[in-house]
Structures are given as structure tokens and as C-alpha cells.
Amino acid sequence: MLVASATALPLLLAASGCRSADAFDGPDPLAGRPSPGHDVVVLQAAISAEEALISLYVTATATATAKEGSKLLASLLAQHRQHLARLRAALVLPPGPATASPSVTASAGATASPGATASAGGSASGKGAGGKGAGVVARLRAAERASAAAGLRRLATVDPSLAQLLASIAACDATHVAALAALA
């Protein structure tokens, strides 16, 4: 009986020319999926930025030749994978088909870092042919700096629990810049 009533309500409202929002307080449950809130948009942007950093590290790690450089890059890559896992765990979306917000990059300040889209070639130790490795390290450092700065810019606009996560990731990114200086 309850199921029949629940399925009949939208038909009854439609037949009477009413919207479900006229009968209920709050958002219209029949209007479709609501747009994501600001924190969700910021979190999605942080996830995208972290994925870009991981991609850059994967490329750099694959081209690293010096043992010390390989170990450091692998360690930093592992930390970024942990960051990504924590960011994804914090993202809670309602069930149903996901719709990407067109304003993710614009409103959350998630511009790709300059090094995240550049191709990486040569060794990561800086001792490769033609100094290509130094370029890879420079791109990594620039990407880490950009990521830390973007994380700090997001802090004032989100809830405290998300701000805490973003601050810890930004601090880690800042330490990565210093660690990468050893490879330059």
C-alpha cells in the first residue's frame, strides 16, 4: 500500500498542476539531482590536481636512472597516492549517475600546474643526457609548489574538516619541494 502511494504521488501532483516543491518544504525531489555543493566541487578539483601530480611522478619515476633519485621519486609518488586515497574517501556523492560540474576548475581554482601537463623525458637525477633530468625535477618542483599554493587558497572557503585535510596535503607538498631540491 505504501509503495502504491509513493508511486501515485508524482502522478497526482502532475495531474493537479502542482510541483512537488509546492507540497513539500525544501528542494524539489522530482527536479533531478542537485548541483554539488562548494566543498564537493573543491574536493573534486583537489582530486583532479592530485591525479595530475601522480601522472607526472609516474612519468618521472619511469625515466629516473640514478638510484637515489628513483627511491625519492617512488617515495613521493607513494605519498601522493595516499593523498589521493584520502581525498577520494572524503568525497561523498549521492547514488546515481554522476554529473561533472562544469565549474569545477573555475570555482575551485584547480588549474593544472605548469609541470603537470608537460612531457617528462630523460633521467630524474639531473645527470642524464642534455640535462633533461634537471628539467623533470624542475617541473616536479613547480607542480608541487603550485599544488601547495592551491591547497592553501582553498582553505578559507571550505568546512574545517576539509580544510584540515587540504592543509596537511599542502604542507606535505611544500616539503616535497624541499626534498626535490636535493635532486636538482
What pLDDT digit, counting tens, does each position of 23-37 carry?
667 667 677 777 888
Distance CA 95, CA 109 (A): 26
Distance CA 115, CA 53 (A): 9
3, pLDDT greater than 60: no
pLDDT (0 to 100) of residue 81 = 98
Domains and CATH numbers, the chain: 41-88+124-181 (1.20.1260.10)
What pLDDT digit, counting tens, does each position of 69-95 carry?
889 999 999 999 999 999 999 998 877
Q: What's the whole-model pTM score?
A: 0.68
Distance CA 178, CA 46 (A): 21
Distance CA 177, CA 156 (A): 23
Q: Evaluate the CA torsion angle 57, 59, 62, 67 in order and state its sign.
A: negative
What CA–CA distances, in Å, run from 86 to 20, 44, 168?
38, 12, 11
pLDDT (0 to 100) of residue 93 = 81
* 3-class DSSP assignment, residue 100: coil
The amino acid that residue 1 corresponds to is M
